[in-house]
């Protein structure tokens, strides 16, 4: 039986995952300053993640590196496709608009979860979901934007949103009989095989990396992929896809804080208000876990 402490632990796992994902913009700016392209950065992120997982699983834990469950391959393809679509969308749309569309995925997860896993969505979850989406809308600055001009960009962002929502739901199913670390390694390897053929020139950067580029790539692998994906999957086991995805919307708030602390970017009143709304939605999600039913697929826990 799943206890409140286990569900709180799952919420904290998801929150930590969001923080790890939020370090990505800072590291990406450093990578671009060192001459890396978006495609090469994406490839290096997955490559070094896989290499690190090989060391951890095969060298330290003495466990299988890969899992051959068919759904894990589907999950890896979805996550990779979502990442690529997100990068493509940023070529056409503003970051604010792309973020708003992408972070609509909690609504899709909640909707799909009701029909696929028969998850019970209580009023607090619905209220938190609406609050999170409203907060991200405020953060995006769309109130004064006129960037709704690119149909291609909107389609790419919607595809990224859809891919990530499906990735979350498939992940809830695969965790029933697979270990998070093996799932993460398999997803990273799948991403390598997808990205390298699509961008062979950018992937060849591995043969002439400078030391600063190498350090940035390893940090991205550790923070943005290894820890972020691992803790998201572990949290998913504890609290299910709907609540996990809702709490993960704290990511843009963490991005603003890190940008202020590290890059010196200032917070506007609008950004402070939007951040507060997202944090409030996260509080509702964590409070709800004491009363929500447990999803069967999320009961099994992984102990590291």
3-state secondary structure the chain: CCCHHHHHHHHHHHHHHHHHHHCHHHHHHHHHHCCCCHHHHHHHHHHHHHHHHHHHHHHHHCCCCCCCCHHHHHHHHHHHHHHHHHHHHHHHCCHHHHHHHHCCHHHHHHHHHHHHCCCCCCHHHHHHHHHHHHHHHHHHCHHHCCCCCCHHHHHHHHHHHHHHHHHHHHHHHHCCCCCHHHHHHHHHHHHHHHHHHHCHHHHHHHHHCCHHHHHHHHHHHHHHHHHHHHHHHHHHHHHCHHHHHHHHHHHHHHHHHHHHHHHCCCCCHHHHHHHHHHHHHHHHHHHHCCCCCCCHHHCCCCCC
- Give residue 94's pLDDT: 62
User: In this predicted structure, what is the pLDDT of residue 180?
Assistant: 76
Whole-number pLDDT of residue 266? 72
The rounded distance, in Å, linking the Cα atoms of 281 and 128 is: 4
pLDDT score for 130: 82
Residue 111, Cβ density class (10 Å: 0-12 exposed, 13-18 middle, ≥19 buried): middle
Predicted local confidence at residue 169, as pLDDT: 81
* pLDDT for 30: 81
Quote the pLDDT of residue 155: 82
pLDDT by residue for the chain (304 residues), tens only, comes to 457 777 888 899 999 999 998 888 888 778 888 998 878 888 998 999 999 999 988 888 888 888 888 888 898 899 888 988 887 777 777 666 677 678 777 777 777 777 776 766 667 777 777 887 787 777 766 666 544 446 677 788 889 888 988 888 887 777 667 777 888 889 899 999 999 998 998 889 999 899 999 999 999 989 987 788 778 888 888 888 778 877 887 888 887 788 788 877 777 787 788 778 877 776 676 555 444 444 433 333 333 3
* Burial grade of 272 (CB within 10 A; 0-12, 13-18, 19 or more): middle
pLDDT, residue 194, reads: 92
Q: What is the pLDDT of residue 175?
A: 66
Residue in this structure with the two tokens 């053929």, named with its chain if needed:
197
Residue 300: the pLDDT is 32
């Amino acid at each position: 039986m799943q206890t409140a402490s286990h569900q709180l632990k799952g919420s904290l796992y998801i929150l930590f995952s969001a923080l790890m994902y939020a370090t990505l913009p800072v590291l990406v700016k450093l990578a671009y300053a060192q001459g890396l392209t978006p495609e090469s950065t994406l490839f290096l992120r997955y490559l070094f993640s896989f290499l690190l997982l090989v060391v951890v699983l095969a060298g330290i834990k003495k466990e299988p590196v890969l899992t051959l469950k068919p759904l894990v391959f589907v999950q890896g393809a979805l996550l990779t496709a979502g990442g690529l679509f997100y990068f493509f969308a940023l070529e056409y749309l503003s970051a604010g608009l792309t973020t708003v569309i992408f972070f609509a995925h909690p609504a899709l997860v909640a909707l799909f979860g009701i029909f696929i896993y028969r998850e019970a969505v209580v009023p607090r979850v619905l209220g938190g979901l609406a609050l999170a989406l409203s907060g991200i809308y405020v953060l995006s600055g769309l109130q004064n934007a006129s960037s709704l001009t690119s149909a291609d960009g909107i389609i790419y962002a919607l595809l990224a949103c859809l891919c990530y929502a499906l990735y979350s739901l498939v992940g809830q199913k695969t965790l029933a009989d697979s270990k998070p670390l093996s799932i993460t390694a398999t997803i990273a390897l799948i991403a390598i095989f997808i990205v390298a053929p699509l961008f062979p020139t950018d992937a060849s950067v591995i043969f002439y990396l400078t030391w600063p580029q190498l350090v940035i790539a390893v940090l991205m692998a550790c923070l943005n992929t290894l820890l972020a994906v691992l803790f998201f999957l572990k949290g998913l086991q504890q609290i299910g896809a709907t609540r996990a995805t809702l709490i993960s919307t704290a990511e843009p708030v963490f991005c603003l804080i890190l940008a202020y602390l590290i890059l010196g970017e200032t917070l506007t009143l609008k950004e402070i208000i939007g951040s507060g709304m997202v944090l409030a939605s996260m509080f509702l999600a964590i409070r709800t876990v004491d009363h929500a039913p447990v999803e069967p697929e999320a009961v099994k826990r992984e102990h590291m």
